[in-house]
Amino acid sequence: MSATVEIYTWTTCPFCVRAKRLLDSKSVAYTEYCLDGDEPGRSKMALRTGGSKSVPQIFVNDQHLGGCDAIHTLDREGKLDAILAG
């Protein structure tokens, strides 16, 4: 079983690009919500994150992992693959 991965992004955000690059390197399928000019979408994301409006924000199986630094930290610690496995 593979995890359901969602990522909220902006097109020109370098941290979003970096987070997606990590997921892509692991061949992870994800749903991307591009928030360029989408204030209702950003508000929905903020509700899911508990108030954070920065991007990217990554969710795995509806669990909020955080942003780019958070998933890179999990990867360095050897924990990300298990989370992504579902």
Domains of the chain, with CATH numbers? 5-85 (3.40.30.10)
With pLDDT > 90 as the criterion, what percentage of the chain qualifies?
97
Residue pLDDT, tens place only, 26-64: 999 999 999 999 999 999 999 999 999 999 999 999 999
User: Per the structure block, which two tokens stand in for 42?
Assistant: 């950003």
Residue 2 pLDDT > 90, yes or no? no
Q: How far apart are CA 50 and CA 28, in angstroms?
A: 25
Give the predicted TM-score (pTM) of the model.
0.94
Q: What is the pLDDT of residue 62?
A: 96
Q: What is each CA distance from 62 to 7, 13, 43, 49, 71, in whole angstroms?
A: 11, 23, 17, 10, 15
Q: How confident is the model at residue 1 (pLDDT cuts 50, 70, 90)?
A: low
